[in-house]
Amino acid sequence: MRRNHQPYWLKALTNRWNRFYINHWFSKHFDSLGKCPMVLNPRSAEIFGHNIKVGDFVHLISEPWNPVRLTSWSGKGIQGHITIGDHCLISPGTTIASATSITIGDNCMFAAGCYVSDSDWHGLYNRLRPFRCNKPVILEDNVWLGLGVKVGKGVTIGENSVVAAGSVVAKDVPANTVVGGNPAKVIKQLNPDRRMLKREYLFTEGEAYLGQMGELDKYVMSGNTIIGWVRSFLFPNQRD
C-alpha cells in the first residue's frame, strides 16, 4: 500500500486502547516508566527482570516478528540493572541484556537489530555460569547506534558519538567520535562546538507535539472510510 486507508476514528480508537494497555499492563514490567511513552506494538515487546528503568518520552518500536527485548538477569552473584534516559529511540529487534549494569543516557538512538550486553554469559573455563565475566556498559547522552551494532561488556561510548551500521564495539569510544568496523575503529571526529539538534527538541512542548501528530493524522486520513479500507485489502489497485 502507498498510503494508510484506515479511517481516522478507527486509528484514534486504536491509539486510545494502546495508551490504556501501556498504562495498565505494559508499564508494570518496569521499575519505572516515564511520562508519555510512545510504544508501537507493546504486546510484542519482551521485558523481563527487575531494575529496568526508562525515562520520559521513550519511543519504542517493537514488531511481532522483530521484538524489542530488555532483560535484566538475576542469579547466583549477579543482578542486572538497565537504566534508559529521556527522549530515547529504540527500534525493532534491539536487545539489551544485563547481568550487572547498563546505563543509557538521554537522547540516545538505537537503529534496528542492535545488541548491548554487559556480560560474556559464560566464562572461558567455567562455562556452566557467568563468573567474573561481567562489566558495566555506559552509553552517554546522544549516542547513536546504527543498524545491527553490537556493544560488548565494559564499554563506555562518549557523548554524541556515532557507531556505524554493523559494527562491533569492544573498546571505549571517546565523545564526539564516529567509529565503525569489527572491531570498531575511529572514522572521524565531530565538532563539539557545532550546534547539534537532539531528539529532546521534538518534545520541548511534549503534550503539544503529541497533539500536533494527532491533528496531522486527522487531516491526512480525513477522507478514509471503512468501505474504502476493506476494499484496499480485498481489491487493491495502483492508487492504493
Residue 208 has pLDDT above 90, yes or no: no
* 81-97 tens-digit pLDDT: 999 999 999 999 999 99
149 and 177 in a common domain? yes
Asked whether residue 57 is assigned to any structural domain, the reply reads yes
Give the mean pLDDT of 55-76. 94
Q: Does residue 198 sit within a domain? A: no
- Are 92 and 162 within one domain? yes
Full domain range(s) for residue 144 = 31-193
Between 69 and 231, the more confident residue is 69
Asked if residue 102 and residue 149 are part of one domain, the reply reads: yes
- How does pLDDT run across 136-179, given as a tens digit for each residue? 999 999 999 999 999 999 999 999 999 999 999 999 999 999 99
pLDDT(51) > 70: yes
219 and 155 in one domain?
no
Confidence of residue 207 (pLDDT cuts 50, 70, 90): low
Q: What is the pLDDT of residue 29?
A: 95
One domain, residues 179 and 65 = yes
Q: What is residue 64's predicted lDDT score, i.e. its pLDDT?
A: 95
Same domain, yes or no, for 5 and 38? no
Alpha carbon distance 116, 95 (integer Å): 6
- Are residues 224 and 187 located together in one domain of the fold? no
Whether residue 199 lies inside any domain: the answer is: no
**The C-alpha cell of 125 is what?**
573455563
Indicate whether 89 belongs to any domain.
yes
C-alpha dist (Å) from residue 10 to 19, 37, 67, 225, 228:
14, 21, 25, 10, 13
Q: Are residues 73 and 164 in the same domain?
A: yes
Whichever domain contains 42, its CATH number is: 2.160.10.10
pLDDT of residue 131: 65
Evaluate whether 95 touches 118 at the Cβ level (below 8 Å): no
> Per residue in 24-47, pLDDT tens?
999 999 999 999 999 999 999 999
Domain count, the chain: 2
| Inter-CA distances, 50 with 4, 137, 142, 205, 229, Å | 38, 17, 25, 31, 42
Q: Are residues 7 and 63 in the same domain?
A: no
Whether 113 is in a domain gets the answer yes
74 has pLDDT over 70: yes
Query: Does the CA dihedral 227-231-237-240 come out positive or negative?
Result: positive
Q: What is the pLDDT of residue 94?
A: 98
Q: What is 74-126 written as a DSSP string?
A: EETTEE--EEE-TT-EE-TT-EEEESS-EEE-TT-EE-TT-EEESB-SS-SS-
Any domain includes 200: no
- DSSP letters, the chain, are --S--S-HHHHHHHHHHHHHHHHHTGGGGSSEE-SS-EEESGGG-EEESS-EEE-TT-EEE-BTTB--EEEE-EETTEE--EEE-TT-EE-TT-EEEESS-EEE-TT-EE-TT-EEESB-SS-SS--SS--S-B--EEE-TT-EE-TT-EE-TT-EE-TT-EE-TT-EE-S-B-TTEEEETTTTEEEEE--TTS----GGGGGTTHHHHHHHHHHHHHHHTTT--HHHHHHHHHS--TT-
Annotated active-site residue 87? The verdict is no
**Active-site entry in 5, 24, 29, 122:** 122
Residues in a beta bridge with 96:
70, 116
pLDDT at 183: 96
| Any domain includes 79 | yes
End-to-end CA distance of the chain: 5
Instruction: Say if residue 9 is in the same domain as residue 41.
Output: no
Q: Is residue 52 part of a domain?
A: yes
**pLDDT, mean over the chain:** 91
150 and 61 in one domain? yes
> Which residues, 6 or more positions from 224, have their beta carbon under 8 angstroms from its beta carbon?
4, 5, 6, 7, 8
Query: Of the ranges 2-16, 85-99, 200-214, 217-231, which one carries the lowest mean pLDDT score?
Result: 200-214
Residues 147 and 45 in one domain: yes
Q: Does 77 score more than 80 pLDDT?
A: no
Asked whether the predicted pLDDT for residue 209 surpasses 80, the reply is: no
